[in-house]
Amino acid sequence: MELPGLVVAIWMFVCFHAPVDGYPNGKVRKACTSMIPCHGSSPQLPPEHTITVNTTEFKSGDNIEVHLSGPDFEGFFIQARDAEHLDGPAVGSFMLVDRRLSQLLTCGRTKNSAVSHTSKTKKKHIKVYWIAPGDAPKHVQFLATVVKKYRTFWVKIPGPVVSQPDVLSPTTPLHATSEVMSTSYPVSYLSKPFSALGCGSMKFCIRNPSNCDPGSASCFFLSFQKEESSVFIEMSGPSEGYLAFALSHDQWMGGDDAYLCVNEDHRVHVCTAHLKGRSRPLLDSENALEDVSWRLVDGILQCSFRRSIRLSAYKERFNLDGIYYIFLADGEASQGGLIYKHHRQPLITDGPYNVTGPPQDIGGSRSPRLIRAHGALMFVAWITTVSIGVIVARFFKPVWAHSLLFGKEMWFQVHRMLMLTTVMLTSISFVLPFIYRGGWSQQAGFHPYLGCAVMALTIFQPLMAGFRPSRHAPRRQLFNWFHWSTGTTARILAVVTMFLGMDLPALDLPDPWDTYTMIGFVAWHVGIDVLLEIHSYCLIRKVEVIEDDRVQILQSLTSAEAEGHLFKQVVLTIYVCGNIVFLIAFLLAINKI
């Protein structure tokens, strides 16, 4: 059973679906310095697109016509720089010709010093004007980054060099950008699956399920092996899309150091990223990974790489000798390498760990403890105590009419005890998600809204019972209807709320087992209720027949009632046992036993 909106909810986008930095609207100021799109792959060589100008000389204030042309492309980014210092800032400013296709950006302190696309609409030609500044260098070269599609792009395509009058051309023209090539890394293919040998003795391992074999079709595996000044990392799991792990200072997404292995057209791309809140990851323009290898066989994605323990040149990379919670997630990816929100809760370690410390072999959980406790208490309350309490009040008044418990009728005491237990369990369970989330959850759909309604009715019901009129009071019948309708509404809403809650990723119940089991419980409860109703009707009719025939023999009436009471007690025993079986099944599923 899927929640509308959760099936298509997108949590994890790679930061680019179009051009530089993945913004289809072209507002890519983050790429002002490197001009590199962080698509997790290497740029193409040689370029297919060309830059041309209408002159080779300029003086202050001149307008130079600049053309970018070539096969269809979606995104672009154009700058002019000092030809003798191409790592320097953008030079001069631009003027647009067609505002539908291009827009001005400000890089550094120079206004309108770059031009980019406005949308990912395919184009073959772009025309703009460059305005020479008063403090222009002697030689200026035009550079362009062009994105044909997500994984196909060229960075810093060299264009013509224009010079001020009476100045010699630069002695070292740009033929290829060494900066671009430095962002790529050698990639090799793994010949065999990873091994858990050495976990806990030579390397730090995380496995789910616990102690699983990394070569199996259901094992998620992450290992860290410390070397002299670096750490060798292995990650594998059943995924046709992507695998990712992140280092975090807490158990919440946001401000985290992430590493992704993405399957694109049966090739795996490895990249680093920074997570900000629950938004799409921000991939790095430069990659700090070495010795990258991968393998994709029988639906199992594996990748390995090496990175230095400390990377002072990369601000978003954490030092690996720190203490962190570790997240491990998987999900789907499109053919273009675009990754989507993971369809289930990431695996999170139970505590923070130092992956370069003493080797350990640990597991993790996809369901936080407080959320598991929330689900368990709600199942106890609404599968056992409420259901049994309602059956007792509805059908056992005549059975236990003459039996007393603590000075009052037994059926009433049992009913009251079960209902007060329900109020206590529901109240405790109700606050646990708020403690875990630190507030209201925006990701849980209608579940929290219906949960609040159930909680309100749960509190209202015993308060109303405290003002119950005496048995023969004129308003007793009205109270009975209100009491019944409030309780019935609460039970119906509770069942709907549990159906919705079982499909939330945080609880991580097996699907569709959870839905079918809940349907089975509802059918079980309704079936027992209908059976007792039919039995009560038949018993009443039997007594009426005895009275109509004027055979009012006390022994006959007593015998009929005794048979009915015995039947109800047998049915109640079976019902309680059945409810306990359903409850145990849910509790085992929640705790993954």
**Domain 188-365 matches domain 369-592 at the CATH topology level:** no
- Nearest-angstrom CA–CA distance, 419 and 389: 6
Encoded tokens for 182 = 């430095």
DSSP classification of residue 25: T
**Per-domain residue ranges of the chain:** 29-163, 188-365, 369-592
Contact 245, 326 (CB under 8 A): yes
Per-residue confidence (pLDDT) for residue 142, from 0 to 100: 95
DSSP classification of residue 463: H
In sequence order, which residues have a C-beta less than 8 Å from that of residue 530 and are 6 or more positions away?
none
DSSP classification of residue 44: P
Q: Which among 93, 118, 119, 121 is positioned nearest to 108, based on CA atoms?
A: 93
Per-residue confidence (pLDDT) for residue 5, from 0 to 100: 40
Contact 327, 289 (CB under 8 A): no
pTM for this model (two decimals): 0.57
Please name the amino acid found at residue 479. Answer: F
Per CATH, the architecture of 29-163 is what? Sandwich (2.60)
- Distance from chain centroid for Cα 197: 31
In sequence order, which residues have a C-beta less than 8 Å from that of residue 288 and are 6 or more positions away?
272, 307, 308, 311, 313, 314, 317
CB atoms within 10 A of CB 210: 11
Contacts 24+ apart (CB under 8 A), 229-232: 229/308, 229/309, 229/310, 230/290, 230/306, 230/307, 230/308, 230/309, 231/306, 231/307, 231/309, 231/320, 231/355, 231/356, 232/291, 232/304, 232/305, 232/306
In sequence order, which residues have a C-beta less than 8 Å from that of residue 484 and are 6 or more positions away?
none
Is residue 263 helix, strand or coil? strand
- Nearest-angstrom CA–CA distance, 293 and 268: 9
Torsion of CA 290, 262, 22, 254, to 10 degrees: -80
Per-residue confidence (pLDDT) for residue 545, from 0 to 100: 60
Which fold would CATH assign to domain 188-365?
A: Immunoglobulin-like (2.60.40)
CATH no., domain 369-592: 1.20.120
Per-residue confidence (pLDDT) for residue 13, from 0 to 100: 34
What is the DSSP track for 496-508?
A: HHHHHHHTSTTT-
Residue with token string 């090539």: 181
* Beta-strand pair 290-297/187-189: parallel
Tell me the HSE value of 547 on the side-chain side, using a 13 A CA sphere.
9
Local confidence pLDDT in tens for the 593 residues of the chain: 344 443 333 333 333 333 344 555 556 666 788 887 765 566 777 788 999 999 989 999 899 999 999 999 999 999 999 988 888 899 999 999 988 899 999 988 888 999 999 988 899 999 999 999 999 999 999 999 999 887 788 888 999 999 998 766 554 444 433 333 333 445 677 878 899 999 999 999 999 888 899 988 889 999 999 998 999 999 999 988 899 999 999 888 788 999 999 887 677 888 888 887 766 676 665 667 888 899 888 888 999 999 999 988 777 889 999 999 999 999 887 655 567 777 778 889 989 999 999 999 998 888 888 888 999 999 999 989 999 999 998 888 888 877 888 888 888 899 999 999 999 999 999 999 998 888 888 778 899 999 999 999 999 999 998 888 888 888 888 998 999 999 999 999 999 999 998 888 777 777 778 888 899 999 999 999 999 889 888 877 776 665 555 444 444 445 556 667 788 889 999 999 999 999 898 888 877 64
- Nearest-angstrom CA–CA distance, 89 and 79: 9
* Residue 364 backbone dihedrals phi, psi, to 5 degrees: -170, -175
First to last CA, the chain: 23
